[in-house]
Chains A and B, each alone.
Chain A
Amino acid sequence: MRLLALSATLLALAATTAPASAQGPAPLAAEGCLGCHGPEGRGVAGGIAIAGRDRAELVAIMTAFRANERPGTIMGRIARGYTDAEIAAVAEHFSRIR
Chain B
Amino acid sequence: MTTTFPRRAFLVAGAALAAPATLRAQGTAMRLVVIGGGFGGASAASFARRTYPDVQVTLVEPQPRFVTCPYGNLLLGGERQIGQITHSYDGLRARGVDVIHDRAAGIDAPTKRVRLAGGAVLAYDRLILSPGIAIRWGAIEGYDEAAAQHMPHAWIPADGSQTLLLRRQLEAMPDGGVVGFAIPGNPFRCPPGPYERISMVAHYLKRHKPRSKILALDAKEGFSKQGLFQDGWRALYGDMIEWVPGNRDGRVVKVDVAERVLETEFGTRHKVDVANVIPPQSAASVAAASGLVNDTGWVPVNTRTFEARAAAGVHVIGDANIPGPMPKSGYVANTTAKQAVAAAVALHRGQTPPEPVYFNTCYSHVGENYGISVVGIFRPNADGTAIVEVPNSGGVSPRGDLPEQRRLEAIHADAWYESITRSMFG
CA distance A74 to B426 in the complex (A): 25
Residues on B with beta carbons closer than 8 Å to the beta carbon of A56: none
User: Which residues of A1-52 are within 8 A (CB) of B?
Assistant: 1-2, 5-6, 8-9, 12-13, 15-17, 20, 24-26, 28-29, 31-32, 34-39, 43-48
- In the complex the two chains form, is A77's CB within 8 Å of B375's CB? yes
0/1 string, B1-23, CB within 8 A of A gives 1 = 11110000000000000000000
A47-B359 in contact given A28-B342, A73-B373, A78-B394 (Cβ < 8 Å): no
- In the complex the two chains form, is B354's CB within 8 Å of A81's CB? no
Chain A, Cβ-Cβ closest to B424: A35
Q: Which of B357, B358, B392, B405 has the most CB of A within 10 A?
A: B357
- In the complex the two chains form, is B390's CB within 8 Å of A81's CB? yes
Residues on A with beta carbons closer than 8 Å to the beta carbon of B342: 24-25, 28
In the complex, whether B397 has a CB less than 8 A from a CB of chain A is yes
In the complex, whether B117 has a CB less than 8 A from a CB of chain A is no
User: Which residues of A55-98 are within 8 A (CB) of B?
Assistant: 73-74, 77-82, 86
Q: How many residues of A contact B (CB 8 A)?
A: 40
CA distance A37 to B422 in the complex (A): 11
**B361 touches which of A26, A35, A48 (Cβ 8 Å):** A35
**A81 touches which of B377, B409, B412 (Cβ 8 Å):** B377
0/1 string, B51-72, CB within 8 A of A gives 1 = 1111000000000000000000
Q: Which of A1, A13, A35, A48 has the most CB of B within 10 A?
A: A35
Residues on B with beta carbons closer than 8 Å to the beta carbon of A29: 357
Shortest distance from the beta carbon of B91 to any chain A beta carbon, whole Å: 7
Q: Which of A2, A8, A9, A86 has the most CB of B within 10 A?
A: A9
- In the complex the two chains form, is B94's CB within 8 Å of A35's CB? no
- In the complex the two chains form, is A35's CB within 8 Å of B394's CB? no
Chain A, Cβ-Cβ closest to B405: A73
CA distance A97 to B95 in the complex (A): 20
- In the complex the two chains form, is A28's CB within 8 Å of B418's CB? no
Residues on B with beta carbons closer than 8 Å to the beta carbon of A38: 415, 418-419, 422-423
CA distance A61 to B150 in the complex (A): 52
Shortest distance from the beta carbon of B303 to any chain A beta carbon, whole Å: 14
11 contacts between A and B (CB under 8 A): A9-B94, A12-B49, A17-B54, A20-B52, A32-B357, A35-B331, A36-B361, A36-B419, A39-B426, A73-B408, A79-B393
